[in-house]
Structure 1
């Protein structure tokens, strides 16, 4: 009996159908000598900090850094039932082989391996590695199962990434949260991304527009433009010298140029285009693409490649014809230059995202709007990528009037090529070409010009959208990192990073319904202000991403990578000093009861008591303070405020443990600066 473990129930059902397993059980499908079951996301994950020691349940500076010597794992409470099913199946004596059929990528490998190891299984593993959930792709995949051992390095890279994020996230988040008195989420990729947003915000806020002036000469049916001038007076001088004067054509250069079709989509370029054209967030696009994949309409979306492999080259003409049916009635007339999209050397785990043959005859209107628009983007890109080259003639005219030089550019399309197909999709229609159509003109011609000044202003940098921020993440420190694999995060994780920034209150999206842009919140800006360079540096994070790839390729050990993360984190905890004036960067949102008698900080309320907002100060009046509870008195805001203001407070109806009677007294704050705050009693009235 062979046990197949997929990543999701829907995928398991598709596989079971192909394998002939039809008997539904609780948590799996059985039949034809196969058992097909599934995970539900990350069934097993790295254990929480307090699993190593109960004291880690509290966030305390003196406990840092937290560095597990032996990593522990836990089963998610919400998925415990399905893990129990898988554990029983993995250890069933009837099962002799396990087939890993989770998503064919780093995270899919991690999901399966953690379940396999947590269940204590040591049976042989085969790997199903496919880029599509089409029936033919699944059948082919099962005929060519790989040895699970071939993916050991992929698993180590995935586990290494998870451990690195745990170490940085747990320690840095606790360190800065404790030191600055509020929850401050730090992440290995999230913090450098936030730093880029903050840097852009500063560039925009500090930008000062500068005016510039250009002189335009109208000659017959076309216009010539001069260079930009910073001085209006200078522009007026040129205007006086040229208006109504002769213009001599110095040169007429004509060149035929070409523009190659754009490449196919990887996940990041798909997310960028969907944001730019449709206003989708990166996370929305990923969700739509994942759903389309599970419905078998597109290939695996979490890819970083923009090419296809040679083994599917023969299928592309038929696929292009089926795809074209969405746009043009005479699909056979469209060119299909398959060789343009084939390059196996530029495909790592998965090829570019393309539609599958299952779209043939598909009623697009039956799909949810987001999925429909995403599929249309992928369809038109396939047709464009295999289309003909766009050819045009470019003419550049240089003219002189007085001492000033002017130019004009013109463009004439010779062959629309792929752009003819591109225009079939409403969202990708070409913007009107800025280049004018120029009349027939020759060197030495003399014309009369009418001159005018046009004033403009320099523009500030544009705030990040999902489109441009994904691009910056993908190309972070491109010049500094000498490799083709650059950037921070991966195609599969970047969307989640952007959403986490927003959920953590460090950034927000603003703007109208379609065009939304990122800006850092006050909290996010303050955090970047106090974070040291190594935590917020895109360069360091890009280098870490590169090293994770080396782990995946077996060129670097996981231990070597993690040692670097541990060293950096340990040094951060030991050497970081609180920034002076941080109280203005991180103002407390809690009501102040008064000033701390020890350091002058604000005393605020939490669940257990009234504590100094300065985490380095130990002053606290606990709600369960024995001095008050013995007298059956509740420590209220009013009592604390009076104690802080006058050093004492009158109490009435105090209970006597000895006599069982009540009395009135004055509680006096008797703080000596020790671990606990003490009180003494004074009596201004007789006992009752």
Structure 2
């Protein structure tokens, strides 16, 4: 039996090849072939392509409030090869990669899904959707591994498991119903955006399972901060000769010893005098190390240091691929016995890297709070490849050293002794209602290494006050206090709120926070871990008042429903029905809340419509209108007439985004944008030209081409020029003149050829993958 192993990404395929002895061969007596996938290789087609009948197609194509929510039972859930767009706008399809899997499967006896195992079941979905796409009817098996070390991949290969059909595979079912629910929830963004635009706000208001909850939680906390009014109060307390404070327990409904003005408190103070302190008890207590961090906890700590979630995700992934840190998307908060035994010999090396004192790392027993069997990948921790120093990991990204130091110290704290202290209780002899409890450290233990509970706490005063013991006597004084001010929402605070509702895993929370804090449609800002709302976020928050999608309790129930679907306790259709009901409810909420926007947000910025030109298109006799401006260039009246006659014109302008000068030839024609057909100036296709006839740009990145440059480039030569970067820094680069694609449109352009920077051996493959 020949196994075709489907690895999730090229780097994983290389690790399999290294562990098994090549991209194909025999291991442990079993023939195999390794085939790389590229993460998700399929995606849902447009909704109107998933329904039958002309009426249904037209209805689903409209995306209008009148046609939503959709009837999910009409959808066929058809998928197609995924199309991705690079940062430079070049589109590529996964169709060939899928075809390669089909070719590789021809000689296989069974296909083995060898993708990552994560809490969401995403790895299972990645494998199954390709298997379905190629029409495979043979056996399907599963290879699980904790990490991509040779030993683990070999162990996984020797323990390959049979899988049932996809509809009986719980991991797949859970992931599939989640992906369908999320596809249906796209309607919420359309409805929210449309509702805002009815009030004049020209914005895209994104909504979704996790992003809406994040936005609403932050908005509600900011409202509490804004509504806070300082209310001072005064009361009598005692302080002993060692600085310990003794106070009375206060019940707002019962007690009357807290005053609004100082004079009343001073009058109350005259009832009390100096007194001795009585020690009531001394109790020796121990506290074990804090929990192991997940990616959410790690990112929240680093956020306070100024590292953005997006950067932490990208850097951590690169470090994982180099086996310097463990699997990122785990939801385990503990490690297995086997993982503990594997990591134990590495403790001295890890400690040396982060400067932890080995004299503190004396605990070698298995802590029940940290070591437990039954997980998958184990908690986030250092990997088996221990770097030589923190400086040696900096090439992975700006946060690499901070990631490793935090993760390593958190892990090493498990080998520190318990924090030991005496808890001392006492009271004021003459007035026993005044009491104090103080902590006197005996041994810091793990706290001298790393205190995870303190680091992840959003409260700066999370510990008991440290003392040297109670004093002998105490004097009364008037204490001035204020009502507690709500804290500014931070990454740490948000992580704690989402964890409390068990909404998402640590990794999904980080990736979603990264998404909602970047880009033109960002909902939140993140400044050294402190969160605030963007203008779009403020609009979204108003829309979410009274909604279900913004309610963390509803989202918690939804996550549980998806888990139930994966355990066959709930039908997938029943889970999808919750989407329809939620959208139906929130649709009314969005439009009801939209009328409040002017009062709560302020008037929208005036929208200036682009100038339109109307006329008869001579070749067909049609009456049409089109934008007078294209890519920053305004057509003259003479050029408009030429376009209406169907003629080709040549224009020269300056790109409004890059500032580069360009020359383009084109004519009036029909175009398509987001499914909408329109008339406008369309650049001639690249294949209509040769290198000799294509419009040539007069300038590129601050460099103006000479006539000789143009001749050489049109002849296919590569020339070196002195360009200027966006930061106004001069640099040299070689360029050619050739066809390139941008957003699916091919055109003749200047193409730079940058020299590849030398990379360390551990960072050869830094391809982005799922966070």
Q: Distance in 1 between matches of 2:474 and 2:290?
A: 43
**8 A Cα contact 2:7 2:37, kept in partner:** yes
Greater Rg over alpha carbons, structure: 1
Counterpart for residue 665 of structure 1: none
Q: Distance in 2 between matches of 1:631 and 1:144?
A: 68
The alignment status of 1:325 with 2:323, answered yes or no, reads: no
- For these two proteins, the number of residue pairs brought into alignment is 581
The alignment status of 1:160 with 2:177, answered yes or no, reads: yes
The alignment status of 1:128 with 2:143, answered yes or no, reads: yes
Counterpart for residue 524 of structure 1: 537
**8 A Cα contact 1:39 1:82, kept in partner:** no
Displacement, 1:469?
0.7
Choose the corresponding residue for 1:417, options 424, 428, 445.
445
**8 A Cα contact 1:180 1:586, kept in partner:** no
Counterpart for residue 678 of structure 1: none
Q: Distance in 2 between matches of 1:579 and 1:420?
A: 52
Q: Distance in 2 between matches of 1:575 and 1:219?
A: 58
SS at match of 1:535: coil
Counterpart for residue 458 of structure 1: 483
Counterpart for residue 315 of structure 2: 288
Displacement, 1:590?
6.1
**8 A Cα contact 2:188 2:207, kept in partner:** yes
**8 A Cα contact 2:538 2:601, kept in partner:** no
Counterpart for residue 99 of structure 1: 112
Per-residue deviation, residues 521-565 of structure 1 (Å, max 9, x unmatched) = 343333333344323221111100011111222322322211222
Matches within 5 A, 1:53-452: 53=57, 58-66=62-70, 67=72, 68-78=74-84, 82-92=94-104, 93-105=106-118, 106-149=121-164, 152-169=169-186, 171-181=187-197, 182=202, 183-215=204-236, 217-227=238-248, 229-242=259-272, 245-276=273-304, 278-326=305-353, 327-328=355-356, 330=358, 334-341=362-369, 344=372, 347-359=374-386, 362-368=388-394, 369-400=398-429, 405-422=433-450, 434-438=465-469, 441=472, 447=473, 449=475, 451-452=476-477
Displacement, 1:383?
1.9
Stretches of structure 1 lacking an aligned partner (at least 5 in a row): 22-28, 442-446, 477-486, 593-603, 610-621, 638-654, 656-688
Displacement, 1:211?
0.7
Counterpart for residue 648 of structure 2: none
Displacement, 1:295?
0.8
Q: Distance in 1 between matches of 2:605 and 2:474?
A: 74
What do you get for the CA RMSD once the two structures are aligned?
3.8
Aligned in 2, Cα 1:410/1:459: closer, same or farther, shift over 3 Å? closer
Per-residue deviation, residues 567-606 of structure 1 (Å, max 9, x unmatched) = 33345558975447356267775646xxxxxxxxxxx636
**8 A Cα contact 1:197 1:518, kept in partner:** yes
Q: Distance in 2 between matches of 1:321 and 1:562?
A: 51
Stretches of structure 2 lacking an aligned partner (at least 5 in a row): 51-56, 85-90, 249-257, 629-640, 642-771
Aligned in 2, Cα 1:248/1:428: closer, same or farther, shift over 3 Å? same
Aligned in 2, Cα 1:38/1:81: closer, same or farther, shift over 3 Å? farther
The alignment status of 1:541 with 2:567, answered yes or no, reads: no
SS at match of 1:154: helix
Q: Distance in 2 between matches of 1:587 and 1:134?
A: 56
Q: Distance in 2 between matches of 1:436 and 1:137?
A: 49
**TM-score, normalized by length of structure 1?**
0.75
**8 A Cα contact 1:337 1:387, kept in partner:** no
Q: Distance in 2 between matches of 1:475 and 1:219?
A: 39
Aligned in 2, Cα 1:624/1:271: closer, same or farther, shift over 3 Å? farther
Q: Distance in 2 between matches of 1:80 and 1:119?
A: 19
Per-residue deviation, residues 37-92 of structure 1 (Å, max 9, x unmatched) = 32223221122335344675554233323345211112222385554134233344
Aligned in 2, Cα 1:246/1:3: closer, same or farther, shift over 3 Å? same
Displacement, 1:389?
1.8
**8 A Cα contact 1:2 1:96, kept in partner:** yes
Moved more, 105-114 or 543-552: 105-114
**8 A Cα contact 1:322 1:357, kept in partner:** no
Counterpart for residue 49 of structure 2: 51
**8 A Cα contact 1:319 1:356, kept in partner:** no
Displacement, 1:124?
2.2
Q: Distance in 2 between matches of 1:324 and 1:580?
A: 56
**8 A Cα contact 2:275 2:474, kept in partner:** yes
The alignment status of 1:474 with 2:499, answered yes or no, reads: yes
SS at match of 2:583: helix
SS at match of 1:358: coil
Per-residue deviation, residues 198-224 of structure 1 (Å, max 9, x unmatched) = 111111111111112354545444444
Displacement, 1:8?
1.8
Q: Distance in 2 between matches of 1:309 and 1:299?
A: 13
Q: Distance in 1 between matches of 2:182 and 2:493?
A: 25
Moved more, 252-261 or 515-524: 515-524
Aligned in 2, Cα 1:37/1:255: closer, same or farther, shift over 3 Å? same
SS at match of 2:548: helix
SS at match of 1:179: helix
**8 A Cα contact 2:289 2:446, kept in partner:** yes
**8 A Cα contact 1:316 1:338, kept in partner:** no
Q: Distance in 2 between matches of 1:413 and 1:150?
A: 59
**8 A Cα contact 2:246 2:428, kept in partner:** no
Displacement, 1:153?
1.0
Displacement, 1:154?
0.6
Displacement, 1:382?
1.9
**8 A Cα contact 1:325 1:331, kept in partner:** no
**8 A Cα contact 1:83 1:115, kept in partner:** no
Q: Distance in 2 between matches of 1:186 and 1:20?
A: 47
Q: Distance in 1 between matches of 2:367 and 2:260?
A: 50
The alignment status of 1:497 with 2:512, answered yes or no, reads: yes
Aligned in 2, Cα 1:490/1:297: closer, same or farther, shift over 3 Å? same
Aligned in 2, Cα 1:630/1:333: closer, same or farther, shift over 3 Å? closer
Aligned in 2, Cα 1:238/1:312: closer, same or farther, shift over 3 Å? same
**8 A Cα contact 1:214 1:226, kept in partner:** no
**8 A Cα contact 1:307 1:352, kept in partner:** yes
SS at match of 1:254: strand
Aligned in 2, Cα 1:293/1:85: closer, same or farther, shift over 3 Å? same
Per-residue deviation, residues 319-352 of structure 1 (Å, max 9, x unmatched) = 434433333564696222224355546x444321
Q: Distance in 1 between matches of 2:6 and 2:125?
A: 13
**8 A Cα contact 1:157 1:551, kept in partner:** yes
Aligned in 2, Cα 1:47/1:624: closer, same or farther, shift over 3 Å? farther
